[in-house]
Structure 1
Amino acid sequence: MRKFESRIQQLESEETECGLSSFQYKLLLILYLAKGDITSARLLWKRSPKELKETDVQFMSIWNVCRSAVREDFEAVFNSLSVDHLCVPPIKEYIEELREAIQLRQQEAFRTLFTKISIQYYAKSFGIDQQRAIQLAECNGWKRSEDPNILVRCKFGSLPKRDLFQESIIWTLMNHLEANSKTYPTISDENKE
């Protein structure tokens, strides 16, 4: 994901020039995982200070997310992201970005790989309860089949226009634009003068 690239490059440069703080190591590991770059995450783990790997509970929990992602155990991934010591500032906001990035990749993978899936598996794969999973699935082009425990992918013509993530991104952008809007003269305004 491109949005993480500049921050990753900045942290990698700092690591080369003067080393990183424990927070920066955690942040870089989170960014690699959010980008889906497991290889770089593994290399970072190997070159991280031994003390950090053995004593920093947050760093070890983030590493557990990586290990679970490698095993494709997404229930464990989301359980690891929900532990209390990762839900405190300043790490919390980055953990939420990581969770969203993983969920977006999961949605894309499910669209590509499956035409039919159990609701229970869908819920586990997104780290959410079954009711929320049904809502998320329906917003992403799935519907319940005759078997109430199974989701089937909608045909192309019956896909919803936007999913929840797209909707929230649009609202965020609109709010940002409204908050930062400036009035610019138009051609008709210039002609009036």
Structure 2
Amino acid sequence: MDLTLLKEAIASKSYDQVADICDELELQFAARGVNYQNEWPYAIHLLGHIYVQDINNARFIWKRTPSAIKESQPEVVAVWKIGQCLWTHDYAGVHDAIRGFDWSAEVKDLVSAFSESYTKRMFDLLSSAYSTITVADVTKFLGLSEEGVTNYALQHGWTIDPESKMLTVRKMPKVVQQKLDPSKLQNLTEYVFHLEH
């Protein structure tokens, strides 16, 4: 079973490509009648979908994972624990599931990259949803200690009231993408054409 493309993506830290590569390889092996199930990197395949926030497909991968694999590979079960927490919006549970397993060398970097990405996504979500929030509440979302949350928030321009341990959120500037109206483009084209002739 040739997993070279997958190994190259992981080595180059192209984690956003892992799910698509695994899906494609799985289809190729199945189409050729290759019995890949005992050698398949289920943990990486699940993590690939979790990394790109495709929890629904991760759920289907989990469902079709053979029981023997689930029983013999605790790392696959540990990855799915992260998926379950995401599915149920158990934000603190995601961090607990990440910290609660001693990851293998081939999975560790992908888990770490997901953890960083997830923490950033949660912080961005908090930034857009709150104007003030307690340090204790932020710890549940970011999976950091109170000191870690305070440092992280201050690094991102938030302020803290040391008495109440209340963080004041620094709103991120909204990036507005302007969409080009095709009719305006047509009018501009006709106008320029008219000027040139």
TM normalised by structure 1 equals 0.72
Q: Tell me whether 21-30 or 126-135 shows the greater mean CA deviation.
A: 21-30
Q: 1:61 — aligned with what?
A: 78
- Which of 99, 112, 115 aligns to 2:115? It is 99
**Cα 1:22–1:138, aligned 2, differ >3 Å: closer, same or farther?**
farther
Q: CA deviation at 1:154?
A: 2.7
- Which of 16, 28, 41 aligns to 2:27? It is 16
Instruction: Provide Cα deviations, 1:164-185, integer angstroms capped at 9, x if missing partner.
Output: xxxxxxxxxxxxxxxxxxxxxx
The answer for unaligned runs of 5 or more in structure 2 is 1-13, 30-35, 174-197
User: CA–CA distance in 2 between the matches of 1:17 and 1:118?
Assistant: 50
User: CA–CA distance in 1 between the matches of 2:21 and 2:139?
Assistant: 36
**Cα 1:23–1:152, aligned 2, differ >3 Å: closer, same or farther?**
farther
**Cα 1:115–1:85, aligned 2, differ >3 Å: closer, same or farther?**
same
Please give the residue correspondences for 1:40-79 in structure 2 after superposition, counting only pairs within 5 Å: 40-79=57-96
Q: 2:145 — aligned with what?
A: 129
| Matched length | 154
Q: CA deviation at 1:129?
A: 0.7
Q: Tell me whether 144-153 or 118-127 shows the greater mean CA deviation.
A: 144-153
1:35/1:101 contact within 8 Å kept: no
The answer for unaligned runs of 5 or more in structure 1 is 158-193
Q: Tell me whether 137-146 or 54-63 shows the greater mean CA deviation.
A: 137-146
Moved over 6 A (4+): none
Secondary structure at 1:90 match in 2: helix
Q: 2:17 — aligned with what?
A: 6
The one-letter code sitting in structure 2 at the alignment partner of 1:16 is L
User: CA–CA distance in 1 between the matches of 2:168 and 2:102?
Assistant: 37
Secondary structure at 1:85 match in 2: coil
Structure (1/2) with the larger helix percentage: 1
Q: 1:114 — aligned with what?
A: 130
Q: CA deviation at 1:144?
A: 0.9
Identity %: 18
The one-letter code sitting in structure 2 at the alignment partner of 1:52 is I
Larger radius of gyration, structure 1 or 2? Answer: 2
- Which of 22, 26, 35 aligns to 2:43? It is 26
Q: Tell me whether 15-24 or 59-68 shows the greater mean CA deviation.
A: 15-24
